[in-house]
Amino acid sequence: MKFFIDTANLDQIREANDLGVLDGVTTNPSLMAKEGIKGKEAIFQHYKTICEMVDGPISAEVLGTTFDEIVAEGKELAAIHPNIVVKVPMIKDGIKAIKWFTDNDIQTNCTLVFSAGQAILAAKAGATFVSPFLGRIDDSGWDGVQLIEEIVQIYNAQGYMTEVLAASIRNPLHIVRCASAGADVCTCPLSSILGLLKHPLTDLGLQQFLKDAQSMK
Ligand code: G3P
Protein backbone atom coordinates (compact mmCIF):
# COMPACT_ATOMS: atom_id res chain seq x y z
CA MET A 1 0.00 0.00 0.00
CA LYS A 2 1.33 3.41 -0.97
CA PHE A 3 1.43 6.27 1.56
CA PHE A 4 0.30 9.72 0.47
CA ILE A 5 0.13 12.69 2.82
CA ASP A 6 -3.17 14.59 2.87
CA THR A 7 -2.08 18.20 3.38
CA ALA A 8 -0.92 21.35 1.60
CA ASN A 9 1.42 22.25 4.48
CA LEU A 10 4.99 22.27 3.19
CA ASP A 11 6.62 21.57 6.60
CA GLN A 12 4.46 18.49 7.11
CA ILE A 13 5.11 17.29 3.55
CA ARG A 14 8.86 17.74 4.14
CA GLU A 15 8.73 15.86 7.46
CA ALA A 16 6.83 12.90 5.94
CA ASN A 17 9.13 12.88 2.91
CA ASP A 18 12.24 12.88 5.12
CA LEU A 19 10.91 9.72 6.77
CA GLY A 20 11.45 8.01 3.41
CA VAL A 21 8.03 6.37 3.22
CA LEU A 22 6.10 8.97 1.26
CA ASP A 23 4.76 8.06 -2.21
CA GLY A 24 2.65 11.11 -3.03
CA VAL A 25 0.50 14.02 -1.84
CA THR A 26 -3.21 14.84 -1.94
CA THR A 27 -4.66 18.28 -1.43
CA ASN A 28 -8.16 19.74 -1.59
CA PRO A 29 -9.54 23.30 -1.57
CA SER A 30 -10.04 23.23 2.23
CA LEU A 31 -6.41 22.16 2.81
CA MET A 32 -5.11 24.82 0.39
CA ALA A 33 -7.25 27.54 2.01
CA LYS A 34 -5.94 26.49 5.45
CA GLU A 35 -2.42 27.43 4.26
CA GLY A 36 -3.68 30.90 3.29
CA ILE A 37 -3.02 30.35 -0.43
CA LYS A 38 -5.02 32.80 -2.53
CA GLY A 39 -5.26 33.44 -6.28
CA LYS A 40 -4.47 31.29 -9.30
CA GLU A 41 -0.78 32.21 -9.49
CA ALA A 42 -0.14 31.35 -5.83
CA ILE A 43 -2.13 28.12 -6.10
CA PHE A 44 -0.18 26.97 -9.17
CA GLN A 45 3.14 27.94 -7.59
CA HIS A 46 2.25 25.95 -4.46
CA TYR A 47 1.51 22.81 -6.52
CA LYS A 48 4.80 23.31 -8.38
CA THR A 49 6.70 23.54 -5.08
CA ILE A 50 5.06 20.32 -3.81
CA CYS A 51 5.92 18.55 -7.09
CA GLU A 52 9.55 19.59 -6.68
CA MET A 53 9.59 18.24 -3.09
CA VAL A 54 7.95 14.84 -3.61
CA ASP A 55 8.57 12.46 -6.50
CA GLY A 56 5.14 10.88 -6.87
CA PRO A 57 1.51 11.62 -7.75
CA ILE A 58 0.35 15.04 -6.49
CA SER A 59 -3.44 15.55 -6.49
CA ALA A 60 -4.59 19.08 -7.36
CA GLU A 61 -8.33 19.65 -7.18
CA VAL A 62 -10.37 21.58 -9.75
CA LEU A 63 -12.64 24.34 -8.46
CA GLY A 64 -15.13 24.32 -11.35
CA THR A 65 -18.21 22.10 -11.51
CA THR A 66 -19.23 22.11 -15.18
CA PHE A 67 -17.65 19.84 -17.81
CA ASP A 68 -16.08 22.79 -19.65
CA GLU A 69 -14.71 24.37 -16.46
CA ILE A 70 -13.30 21.07 -15.15
CA VAL A 71 -11.60 20.20 -18.45
CA ALA A 72 -10.13 23.70 -18.92
CA GLU A 73 -8.85 23.83 -15.33
CA GLY A 74 -7.60 20.23 -15.40
CA LYS A 75 -5.57 20.87 -18.56
CA GLU A 76 -3.87 23.84 -16.91
CA LEU A 77 -3.19 21.92 -13.68
CA ALA A 78 -1.77 18.94 -15.59
CA ALA A 79 0.59 21.29 -17.44
CA ILE A 80 2.24 22.36 -14.14
CA HIS A 81 4.18 19.08 -13.78
CA PRO A 82 3.98 15.48 -15.14
CA ASN A 83 3.20 14.19 -11.61
CA ILE A 84 0.03 16.26 -11.24
CA VAL A 85 -3.16 14.21 -10.85
CA VAL A 86 -6.32 16.20 -11.55
CA LYS A 87 -8.75 15.75 -8.67
CA VAL A 88 -12.36 15.84 -9.82
CA PRO A 89 -15.55 15.68 -7.71
CA MET A 90 -17.97 12.76 -8.09
CA ILE A 91 -20.67 14.61 -9.99
CA LYS A 92 -22.19 14.01 -13.45
CA ASP A 93 -19.97 16.55 -15.21
CA GLY A 94 -17.04 15.28 -13.17
CA ILE A 95 -17.48 11.76 -14.55
CA LYS A 96 -17.75 13.12 -18.10
CA ALA A 97 -14.58 15.13 -17.53
CA ILE A 98 -12.72 12.12 -16.06
CA LYS A 99 -13.54 10.18 -19.24
CA TRP A 100 -12.20 13.10 -21.29
CA PHE A 101 -8.99 13.20 -19.22
CA THR A 102 -8.62 9.40 -19.57
CA ASP A 103 -8.90 9.70 -23.35
CA ASN A 104 -6.30 12.48 -23.29
CA ASP A 105 -3.76 10.70 -21.03
CA ILE A 106 -4.28 12.97 -18.01
CA GLN A 107 -4.27 11.25 -14.62
CA THR A 108 -7.31 11.76 -12.37
CA ASN A 109 -8.44 11.24 -8.80
CA CYS A 110 -12.21 11.01 -8.38
CA THR A 111 -12.99 12.58 -5.01
CA LEU A 112 -15.94 12.81 -2.59
CA VAL A 113 -16.82 9.13 -3.06
CA PHE A 114 -19.14 7.63 -0.46
CA SER A 115 -20.63 4.53 -2.14
CA ALA A 116 -19.65 1.46 -4.16
CA GLY A 117 -21.88 2.64 -7.01
CA GLN A 118 -19.96 5.90 -7.27
CA ALA A 119 -16.68 3.94 -7.25
CA ILE A 120 -17.92 1.77 -10.15
CA LEU A 121 -18.73 4.89 -12.20
CA ALA A 122 -15.29 6.39 -11.48
CA ALA A 123 -13.60 3.18 -12.65
CA LYS A 124 -15.77 2.99 -15.78
CA ALA A 125 -14.68 6.55 -16.66
CA GLY A 126 -11.06 5.40 -16.27
CA ALA A 127 -10.07 7.37 -13.14
CA THR A 128 -6.49 6.69 -12.07
CA PHE A 129 -7.54 6.85 -8.40
CA VAL A 130 -10.86 6.75 -6.57
CA SER A 131 -11.07 8.45 -3.16
CA PRO A 132 -13.64 7.02 -0.73
CA PHE A 133 -13.80 9.28 2.37
CA LEU A 134 -13.81 6.69 5.10
CA GLY A 135 -13.40 9.03 8.09
CA ARG A 136 -16.44 11.08 7.10
CA ILE A 137 -18.43 7.83 6.72
CA ASP A 138 -17.35 6.78 10.23
CA ASP A 139 -18.29 10.26 11.48
CA SER A 140 -21.83 9.68 10.25
CA GLY A 141 -22.19 6.35 12.04
CA TRP A 142 -21.33 3.95 9.19
CA ASP A 143 -18.24 1.76 8.72
CA GLY A 144 -15.85 3.44 6.26
CA VAL A 145 -13.42 0.52 6.06
CA GLN A 146 -16.30 -1.75 5.03
CA LEU A 147 -16.75 0.48 1.97
CA ILE A 148 -13.03 0.19 1.15
CA GLU A 149 -13.33 -3.63 1.36
CA GLU A 150 -16.40 -3.61 -0.92
CA ILE A 151 -14.75 -1.39 -3.55
CA VAL A 152 -11.53 -3.48 -3.50
CA GLN A 153 -13.63 -6.64 -3.97
CA ILE A 154 -15.62 -5.15 -6.87
CA TYR A 155 -12.51 -3.80 -8.62
CA ASN A 156 -10.77 -7.19 -8.30
CA ALA A 157 -13.84 -9.05 -9.56
CA GLN A 158 -14.22 -6.70 -12.54
CA GLY A 159 -10.52 -6.21 -13.30
CA TYR A 160 -10.80 -2.41 -13.02
CA MET A 161 -7.41 -0.69 -13.10
CA THR A 162 -8.44 2.32 -10.94
CA GLU A 163 -6.47 2.42 -7.68
CA VAL A 164 -8.42 2.56 -4.41
CA LEU A 165 -7.11 5.59 -2.50
CA ALA A 166 -8.50 5.53 1.04
CA ALA A 167 -9.03 9.16 2.09
CA SER A 168 -10.30 11.07 5.10
CA ILE A 169 -8.07 9.03 7.41
CA ARG A 170 -8.46 9.93 11.07
CA ASN A 171 -6.02 7.66 12.94
CA PRO A 172 -3.30 4.97 12.64
CA LEU A 173 -5.85 2.15 13.02
CA HIS A 174 -7.57 3.39 9.84
CA ILE A 175 -4.24 2.93 8.01
CA VAL A 176 -3.79 -0.61 9.37
CA ARG A 177 -7.38 -1.56 8.46
CA CYS A 178 -7.03 -0.09 4.96
CA ALA A 179 -3.85 -2.12 4.41
CA SER A 180 -5.70 -5.23 5.50
CA ALA A 181 -8.67 -4.36 3.25
CA GLY A 182 -6.36 -4.21 0.22
CA ALA A 183 -6.42 -0.44 -0.46
CA ASP A 184 -3.80 0.55 -3.04
CA VAL A 185 -3.11 3.90 -1.37
CA CYS A 186 -3.85 5.54 1.96
CA THR A 187 -3.72 9.33 2.13
CA CYS A 188 -3.16 10.39 5.71
CA PRO A 189 -2.54 13.38 7.95
CA LEU A 190 1.04 13.44 9.27
CA SER A 191 -0.25 12.67 12.79
CA SER A 192 -1.72 9.34 11.63
CA ILE A 193 1.52 8.34 9.86
CA LEU A 194 3.59 9.22 12.93
CA GLY A 195 1.01 7.48 15.13
CA LEU A 196 2.05 4.19 13.52
CA LEU A 197 5.41 4.53 15.30
CA LYS A 198 3.93 4.53 18.76
CA HIS A 199 3.84 1.62 21.19
CA PRO A 200 4.47 1.93 24.95
CA LEU A 201 6.37 -1.38 24.98
CA THR A 202 8.79 0.01 22.37
CA ASP A 203 9.46 3.02 24.62
CA LEU A 204 9.88 0.88 27.75
CA GLY A 205 12.07 -1.65 25.91
CA LEU A 206 14.32 1.07 24.50
CA GLN A 207 14.61 2.73 27.90
CA GLN A 208 15.85 -0.58 29.36
CA PHE A 209 18.24 -1.26 26.46
CA LEU A 210 19.76 2.22 26.82
CA LYS A 211 20.13 1.73 30.59
CA ASP A 212 21.84 -1.66 30.11
CA ALA A 213 24.03 -0.20 27.36
CA GLN A 214 25.33 2.35 29.89
CA SER A 215 26.46 -0.47 32.21
CA MET A 216 28.54 -1.98 29.39
CA LYS A 217 30.64 1.17 28.89
O1 G3P B 1 -8.53 15.06 0.78
C2 G3P B 1 -9.74 14.44 1.00
C3 G3P B 1 -9.96 13.88 2.38
O4 G3P B 1 -8.85 13.16 2.80
C5 G3P B 1 -10.50 14.84 3.39
O6 G3P B 1 -10.37 14.39 4.71
O7 G3P B 1 -10.42 14.78 7.14
O8 G3P B 1 -11.48 16.47 5.61
O9 G3P B 1 -12.55 14.26 5.98
P10 G3P B 1 -11.24 15.02 5.92
* DSSP secondary structure letters along 45-93: HHHHHHHHH-SS-EEEE----SHHHHHHHHHHHHTT-TTEEEEEESSHH
Average pLDDT over residues 159-183: 98
pLDDT score for 15: 97
pTM of the predicted model as reported, rounded to 2 decimal places? 0.96
Average pLDDT over residues 100-114: 98
**50: confidence class by pLDDT, cuts 50, 70, 90:** very high
* Distance from Cα 134 to the centre of ligand 1, integer Å: 9
Task: Kindly list the protein residues whose Cβ atom lies closer than 6 A to any atom of ligand 1.
Answer: 6, 26, 28, 133, 135-136, 167-168, 187
* Distance from Cα 105 to the centre of ligand 1, integer Å: 26
State percent of the chain over pLDDT 70: 100
Mean pLDDT of the chain: 98
